[in-house]
């Protein structure tokens, strides 16, 4: 039995609604996702500011990886958390230990105050991996982001589909795009972050697990799941500045916003 056949048997799906979504995503395409990532996403803007302030590309990328891995159970929006991260480390570059730097940062953070002990333990586990990474190896990983996902999940003992693992791949891609100056699309096999907003939106179309639904849809429309996540971000988020930037920078803004009406 094929996977698609299994899905049709096991899961409810509103095929008419899914087809409207499929057509809209095909019309938007991967370049729309890239525009949203680079011109609309406030997290990308926060990384631009940090990189300019640090003037140390290797440390910059390592900080981005570390920060993505503890971007959960926040006390504010993701945009506010990444802005605080950028501002803090622009003023306080880390020393040899990123984990120790975060012990100071999280102690005073306004936007990430929950589960600090667990987050610091996670950084302690990943620190040897980050310490050994060279800028050349990071560039190689940029060309093999599936391999980066696999190695990251292996070091942490997490599932490859875990939300923070695939989100770390996304932010790693942002950082590398900034440092190395060229765009490499995310791999088709790296899943969409399965968070509350994606889970709720998926329920409009199917009761299948979001990862299964979006992986299949991604293949149909030719847009990798992490880029679909970027298109959905302004639609499912509540940040007014994101909506304003979308209308300013994205020629297809009206079509993007129509996704919330499906």
Annotated catalytic, 14?
A: no
| Alpha-helical regions (H) of the chain | 3-10, 15-35, 42-54, 57-69, 78-91, 98-108, 116-132, 135-142, 145-156, 163-180, 196-202, 210-221, 225-236, 240-249, 253-258
Annotated catalytic, 23?
A: no
In degrees, to the nearest 5, what angle opens at C-alpha 104 toward C-alphas 101 and 105? 85
Q: What is the largest CA-CA distance in the chain?
A: 57
DSSP SS3 for 13 = strand
Q: Alpha-carbon distance 152 to 169, whole Å? A: 9
Catalytic residue chosen out of the listed positions 56, 57, 195, 220: 195
Contact 190, 225 (CB under 8 A): yes
Contact 259, 21 (CB under 8 A): yes
Catalytic residue chosen out of the listed positions 62, 99, 119, 163: 163
In degrees, to the nearest 5, what angle opens at C-alpha 50 toward C-alphas 48 and 127? 120
Nearest CA-CA partner of 53 in 94, 17, 81: 94
DSSP SS3 for 155 = helix
Q: Who contacts 55 (Cβ-Cβ below 8 Å, separation ≥6)?
A: none
Burial class (CB in 10 A: 0-12, 13-18, 19+), 107: exposed
Which residues belong to the active site? Answer: 163, 195
């Amino acid at each position: 039995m094929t996977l698609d056949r299994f899905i049709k048997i096991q899961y409810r799906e509103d095929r008419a609604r899914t087809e409207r979504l499929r057509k809209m995503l095909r019309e938007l395409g991967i370049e729309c996702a890239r525009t949203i990532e680079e011109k609309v996403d406030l997290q990308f803007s926060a990384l631009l500011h940090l990189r300019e302030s640090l003037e140390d590309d290797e440390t910059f990328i390592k900080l981005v990886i570390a920060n993505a891995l503890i971007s959960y159970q926040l006390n504010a929006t993701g945009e506010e958390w990444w802005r605080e991260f950028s501002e803090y480390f622009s003023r306080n570059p880390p020393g040899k230990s990123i984990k120790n730097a975060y012990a100071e940062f999280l102690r005073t953070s306004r936007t990430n105050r929950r589960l600090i002990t667990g987050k610091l333990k996670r950084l302690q586990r990943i620190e040897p991996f980050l310490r050994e990474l060279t800028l050349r190896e990071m560039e190689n990983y940029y060309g093999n982001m599936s391999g980066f996902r696999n190695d990251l999940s292996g070091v942490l003992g997490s599932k490859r589909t875990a939300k923070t693992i695939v989100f770390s791949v996304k932010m790693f891609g942002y950082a590398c795009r900034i440092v190395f100056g060229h765009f490499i699309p995310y791999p088709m096999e790296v899943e969409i972050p399965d968070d509350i907003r994606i889970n709720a939106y998926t329920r409009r179309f199917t009761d299948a697990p979001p990862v299964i639904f979006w992986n299949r849809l991604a293949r149909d429309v030719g847009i990798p799941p992490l880029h679909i996540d970027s298109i959905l971000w302004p639609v499912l988020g509540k940040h007014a500045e994101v909506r304003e930037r979308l209308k300013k920078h994205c020629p297809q803004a009206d079509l993007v916003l129509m996704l919330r009406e499906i």
